[in-house]
Amino acid sequence: MDAPLVVIVILTCNQKQVTLDCLDSFGHCSYPNKQIILVDNGSEDGVKETVNKKFPEVTVLRNEKNLGAAGGRNTGIEHARNQLDFTYIMFMDNDIVVGPDFLTRLVEGLETCENSRVEIASPLLYQMGTEKVIDCAGGAMLNFYTGSTQTRGHGEVDNGQYNHEKFPKCVPTTVLMHRSALERAGGFDVSFDPYGYEDLDMVLRANPERNPFLFVPEAVVWHLGSKTGFSGYTAEYTRMKGQNMQRFFKRHSTSLQWLWFNLLLPFLSVKTIVRELRRGNVKAIFGLVKGFLSGAK
């Protein structure tokens, strides 16, 4: 198989050691034609200088301030479009450690897929520090009636139960996508910044015809699951979460699904509201309501 150029866009913000671990793992990656773009999203930990010294093959781009997940990844996309003649692009969290042949497996999966309309593939993610505990097996299982984005297989021990489902009914977030899919989406929508639902939104816009997503369980990575910029269940966090949730489901659901989702929303929120009331976190509840109202406009 010829090896088309793959661009890997990794975003970091004040997580130097986690990012170095990620880049270290790529030293064992067997795929021969790749270019890593690390976007330093306003870090204050010297990650750019360290990476330049330790990994000179990595392109490091720096945003002087944190542009958010969507804005930061768009910095990497813009550079790739202007400077590189790539066929595939991959978006990956910096708290991932990759297996040696994961990228080869993903590219082979798309290049040899019997369905030529399939342009987006996802690996199997294990939880960091385990060998067989699944973090994500293919993506999020979306329910547009209830607003659920449950991660497929999360927390299960991998006994091969998902190995034969090449085209699961879920939307991946850690993705390798063909450049043509990227161009359909254009990039990430910065209205979802600082983070939340921007990855699901982008993948759905890249695949407007709702072609299947390819799951490649032989492509294995390990995910730590850190939360960059997460400072607790604050009023600002809940406002942002509620707003982005509403914006996402309004954009991608049918009229009936959107109506039903909003009718159910007060009941779906009861568990969260009761939990935060017990904690005395009234501000978070007001933030959540404010976000729901803002995102529904």
pLDDT of 226: 63
Phi/psi of residue 52, nearest 5 degrees: -55, -40
How far apart, in whole angstroms, are the C-alpha atoms of residue 297 and residue 290? Answer: 11
Say yes or no to pLDDT of 170 above 90: yes
Q: To 10 degrees, the CA torsion angle through 8, 12, 15, 17? A: 30
Say yes or no to pLDDT of 1 above 60: no
Where are the domains positioned within the chain? Answer: 6-223, 235-295
- Range list of β-strands (E), 13-103: 34-41, 59-63, 88-93, 96-98
Q: Give the contacts of 103 (CB within 8 A, at least 6 positions apart).
A: 6, 8, 29, 30, 31, 34, 90, 176, 219
CA dist 199 → 19, 101, 106, 221, 284 (Å): 20, 24, 19, 18, 24
Q: Are 221 and 99 in contact (CB under 8 A)?
A: yes
pLDDT of 16: 97
Phi/psi of residue 12, nearest 5 degrees: -140, 150
Q: What digits encode the pLDDT tens for the residues 251-265? A: 999 999 999 999 999
How far apart, in whole angstroms, are the C-alpha atoms of residue 287 and residue 253? Answer: 24
Q: What digits encode the pLDDT tens for the residues 214-243? A: 999 999 999 998 654 445 778 888 899 999
SS3 107: helix
Q: What angle do CA 87, 105, 18 make, to 5 degrees?
A: 85
Q: Are 122 and 176 in contact (CB under 8 A)?
A: yes
Q: What digits encode the pLDDT tens for the residues 61-117? A: 999 999 999 999 999 999 999 999 999 999 999 999 999 999 999 999 999 999 999
Please tell me what DSSP assigns to residue 116.
T
Please tell me what DSSP assigns to residue 192.
G
Share of the chain above pLDDT 70, in %: 97
Confidence at 20, pLDDT banded by 50, 70, 90: very high
How far apart, in whole angstroms, are the C-alpha atoms of residue 81 and residue 65? Answer: 22
The mean pLDDT of the chain is: 94
Length of the chain as a residue count: 297
Q: What digits encode the pLDDT tens for the residues 102-149? A: 999 999 999 999 999 999 999 999 999 999 999 999 999 999 999 999
**Can you tell me the mean pLDDT for 268-277?**
90
pLDDT of 296: 83
Domain 6-223 fold is Spore Coat Polysaccharide Biosynthesis Protein SpsA; Chain A (3.90.550)
pLDDT of 227: 56
Say yes or no to pLDDT of 295 above 90: no
**Can you tell me the mean pLDDT for 41-58?**
97
How far apart, in whole angstroms, are the C-alpha atoms of residue 285 and residue 88? Answer: 42
pLDDT of 297: 79
3-state secondary structure 7-76: EEEEEECCCHHHHHHHHHHHCCCCCCCEEEEEEEECCCCCHHHHHHHHCCCCEEEEECCCCHHHHHHHHH
Share of the chain above pLDDT 90, in %: 86
